[in-house]
Structure 1
């Protein structure tokens, strides 16, 4: 592969990881050409994929890392001792593809719980903790995060520590324990309020602001926000700008918050990180309702609920529903679909089996062994309320909107 020195993947990595905020904008401009260049070797592809994760080029990251460790492949967890599978899961989490994130790390996370305390499995368990927190399994998320922290905090593995605290912060917020959420999120910053992890700490600042506002700690949170702003300078990605504006709105005087929320929602690029965008719609809707702007509040809260329903963010969808009721809207809960509650991989297996394909034929399409296909089907039958393969066609045909 012939890369000029300045655009060689390893050179870009060294530059980007040294300071993603100072060098990020210049590197982002080069990425499309570099990632499309023919003859990239797997280690180069891996390096670029993680760099894209760091710079919030989420879609490129998913495609580069997915070519190395597609969650559908059985050996994916073995590549680079599992670190790549965990990185891909975090990219999937950022991009709102949570079932794929879970699928990519479940087996690897189990090896951590079984005593394999190396970095890949630790990061996988942190990713799984995050998925669980977002999708309504808060207690499981807290257990997983605590297991990760017990190993990574003494070892000083800062990035994984930051991710585990963030997962615990989301889980405790979902449970409505904002004091605990504040404790976990505040652990991402030092005593003076500066980011402990030069990059990841910055992304938690809006969740910290939310917990601070609910527990009367706004003054300290403003100090943290000022540190994060200084760290990011002019180099914040569209994603981090959305996070910073949300934090600013939550910590502003009530009369001033609206403008910051609206500015966060004005940039269409922010939609690429759907959960974080949904949080802005939710809190903007809550603010509008308190300002007695009921029609606008209903519109914003409806938007938030749609985003969260689509992602499967149960606790946040419920909060949007509660706010809609408070704004005088009778909310019908969305019909629960047993098929849609399965992971994307299991949905594909069920659909192919419903078409009459054998386990071997399904396995060939999805890069799985026939035995694994059989195990998946055996496990989904009770969830779908069927006892025989012949009943799957009915399940698929009953599906709304198919």
Structure 2
């Protein structure tokens, strides 16, 4: 039957399928029966004509509890190509698809990278059309992987078409697919479709049907078979339910054995004809053959394949299940469970579906399912259903809280809150109460919570430790410590946390304890933390999560060189394991530290990647912090318009969540931009805000690490007295910690404030080990040179000013290098114009790819590290080479020497 009223949509789909290599995808939305599948079928037909290979999957309501069921259906035709994948990707995808028992449960991101690689390899041979219908019913694991793939196929000869029912959600809705909204047919098109479907329909029924159908194609083609029943349906009934009733009305006229087999097919979580006939045979007490479905075929309810049985529309399946009684459904589920003895996971779910009351044996089976689940979503669903079936309140609470913990780990706030609320409604033990109390605090590191919550967590940690659970207490303590970074709870809360930490039976060099001390008391415990960090710095690369903890700890105490070292060591392990939720945290610390150290070439791509992954993994406060670092980098490079735009975007995130480090870094970026532009009063006002406890950008630790910038602004704004007052407030911190960043800034400030002994202060500051701190060394040389020139020691000043210019040219700090050039001209020496560095010509994303290519990595290896397809990498390199005026990787290596390991 031809499609009516969809000419525009058909044209758009045809252009997509038969277009250029840069294709993308479309998400078709609309109500049930609006014609989404019909459009997809037309696109598939167009793909066949164009020589495009088609891979299809569809969400099935009965399969939602089976992780990667939809992905298995999509990739099954490519199963023989799996061995071409890199080893880690092969293991992840084979485990996810149930083709291998595997080892650890792979993350959805690693599975997504493997699926992307597999699809890109297939598309190299022949363009692909990926079709995913009814994505609102896809199991969560498959939906996450498809969203991951959808974000990364822009440069691939791959088209993705998905369909979504109105009112439903899916990760694919935010994956960059172009929306296509299907509206009801116009009156003329609706009439034409009805005339085509039912040309002999009496006029009195025709008008009634057109009014009832309201332009819905499925209603127009199906309701006419049940016109005699229309008067029995309430007029206010929703169209979807009217269609379900029409379909179920057909079922009531079928022979009883056919109705039984149809119900089994509707409740089966597979389309296997053999399974359905076997279960139907058990229910009927006699062997059922395929002919049992002949009446249903005549009523156009389903379609039979060689060994498959599928319903012509999902509403038919739902109509059959909703009209059956619970006992009828339970009997069908039990029969299916009996025939699925060789499939323990599916058997457990079928058995659970047949149960209405407590059944501890069925609950334990579902617990086993949760243990073996290849995705946290499947484990959460299994544990929640196991809790429903529990015969004891304690076991029910245990299962609910275990499910809630998995929901927290996977970022599902609504699910976690619902599960914790259900657990709290039960009679619980103190252990349950403690678990429920701290569980939800993992979201956003408590950024949006009242700071008073930190004191409560300290008491809870002490109580849990006293009950003999030190690991649980440490976890609670870590959550509380993180809040001391994002918010300011006050001295009492910090002391309470330290008291609990000091009593825990853990070693002093336990990375968790080191990190807690750094977050809670970065000055008071700074010396102890720095000693531990230096001892641990030689043992990185063993555990990525430990390295990430230590990188964060180093940042808190102002050891940015160590912070960059630990976070760079953490990144490879997090990438390889597909832990993209943790990766942006490590990358943000790395970028923040590199920007402070002056390594802008490495900081820029790292910050961009951190922001991208934080956005993709739903971490707004980390996205805000990474964006603020991007603003700082833009300011240092002299791109003040970009710095302003990025700072504004980060500030909106920081203000909405009350994230002080985000707002502090925003003020730093604005202060740097104002300094570079010569607006010294504005610069001092921006930077001073971080020292005001009443200001939302006040950050007790971070403010101490911007003293050099604050000093530059204050001296040039004529605010030396105000600066001295601010420095007096920092005296106790300086006395209590050997923090490198704090002491570098402290020495710099006193050199610029000094009157009689300025030279001694400058020489003393330059005598410190600044090997890993080029920006600070350049700043000292610049200010010392300026001071010497004001003392009319012009010849001596040139050496320092020249050194400063060379440092700032090398690190790409445009504003500072221009200031050095201006001073040199005043000292009677001209400076050559700074030639744009090769890195300045590339976007941060391109720079990431170029640096890896310069190190000799292949496109596939680069793709594995950056979670891109090899074709996307190739496309970027084709753009990069002309920008840099090179034609090979060898040329890249000459332009971008591998002088660090920031993108590991």
Query: Is TM-score (shorter-chain normalized) higher than 0.5?
Result: yes
Q: Which residue of 2 aligns with 1:197?
A: 699
- What is the distance in 1 between the residues matched to 2:780 and 2:799? 13
Alignment of 1:232-311 (within 5 A): 232-253=734-755, 255-267=756-768, 269-311=769-811
2:559 to 57, 62, 74: 57
Q: For residues 71 and 172 of structure 1, what CA distance do their matches in structure 2 show?
A: 39
* Contact 2:801–2:820 (CA under 8 A) maintained in structure 1: yes
Instruction: State yes or no: 1:128 paired with 2:630.
Output: yes
| Corresponding residue number in structure 2 for 1:327 | 827
Contact 1:56 1:237 in 2 (8 A): yes
Q: CA–CA distance in 2 between the matches of 1:331 and 1:38?
A: 43
Distance change >3 Å, CA 113–CA 287, structure 1 → 2: farther
d(CA) in 2 for partners of 1:304, 1:203: 21
Q: 1:207, 1:247 within 8 Å by CA — same for their partners in 2?
A: no
CA distance in 2 between counterparts of 1:75 and 1:297 reads: 52
The answer on whether the counterparts of 1:136 and 1:174 sit within 8 Å (CA) in structure 2 is yes
Structure-2 separation of matches of 1:75 and 1:98: 27
Pair 1:176–1:221, CA change in 2 (3 A): same
**How many angstroms does 1:191 deviate by?**
7.3
State the SS of the aligned residue for 1:79: coil
Name the TM-score, length of structure 2 as normaliser: 0.40
Structure 1: 5+ residue stretches without partners:
none
Write the deviation string for residues 151-206 of structure 1: whole angstroms up to 9, x where unpaired.
3135331122111111111111112211221121011112799x932211112222
Alignment deviations for residues 247-292 of structure 1 (CA, whole Å, 9 cap, x no partner): 1222333x4322222221111x223221122111111111100101
Cα offset, 1:301, TM superposition: 0.5
Q: 1:216 to 1:191 in 2, by over 3 A?
A: farther
Aligned mates of 1:28, 1:143 — CA distance in 2: 36
Corresponding residue for residue 219 of structure 1: 721
CA contact (8 A) 2:518 2:554 kept: no
Preserved CA contact (<8 Å) 2:548 2:567 = yes
CA distance in 2, matches of 1:120, 1:109: 7
Residue 397 to residue 116, structure 1, CA distance change in 2 (3 Å): closer
Aligned-partner Cα distance in 2 for 1:49–1:379: 34
**What residue in structure 2 maps to residue 141 of structure 1?**
643
Q: Which residue of 1 aligns with 2:569?
A: 67
Relative to structure 2, which stretch is displaced further, 269-278 or 228-237? 228-237
SS in 2 for 1:78: coil
Q: Secondary structure at the match of 1:21?
A: coil
Q: Report the structure, 1 or 2, having the larger helix content.
A: 1
**Does the C-alpha gap of structure 1 residues 303 and 112 become closer, same or farther in structure 2, counting only changes over 3 Å?**
same
Q: Shift of residue 104 of structure 1?
A: 1.8
Equivalence for 2:851: 348
Q: Looking at CA atoms only, which structure, 1 or 2, has the larger radius of gyration? A: 2
Distance in 2, Cα, partners of 1:397 & 1:62: 23
Aligned twin of 1:19: 521
C-alpha change, 1:126 and 1:74, in structure 2 (3 Å) is farther
Q: CA deviation at 1:39?
A: 9.5
What's 2:817 paired with? Answer: 317
Compute the RMSD of aligned alpha carbons: 3.6
2:684 to 182, 188, 191: 182
SS of the counterpart of 2:700? Answer: coil
Higher relative contact order (CA 8 A, sep 6+): 1
Does the aligned pair in 2 maintain the 1:72–1:367 contact within 8 Å?
no
Deviation by residue 1:6-45 (Cα, 9 ceiling, x = unmatched): 2211222222322222222222222233455589644332
Q: Which TM-score applies when normalising by structure 1?
A: 0.84
Report the 3-state secondary structure (helix = DSSP H, G, I; strand = E; otherwise coil) of the residue aligned with 2:718. Answer: coil
Q: 1:166 aligns with which of 626, 646, 668?
A: 668
8 Å CA contact 1:275, 1:308 repeated in 2:
yes
CA contact (8 A) 1:129 1:140 kept: yes
Q: Show the counterpart of 2:417.
A: none
Structure 2's unaligned 5+ residue stretches are: 1-504, 899-904
Question: What secondary structure, in the 3-state scheme, does the structure 1 residue paired with 2:737 have?
Answer: coil
Q: Is residue 112–residue 121 contact of structure 1 (8 Å, CA) maintained in 2?
A: yes
In structure 2, what is the Cα distance between the partners aligned to 1:28 and 1:148?
30
Describe the SS at the equivalent of 1:6: coil
Tell me, yes or no, if the aligned pair for 1:285 and 1:296 is still in contact at 8 Å. yes
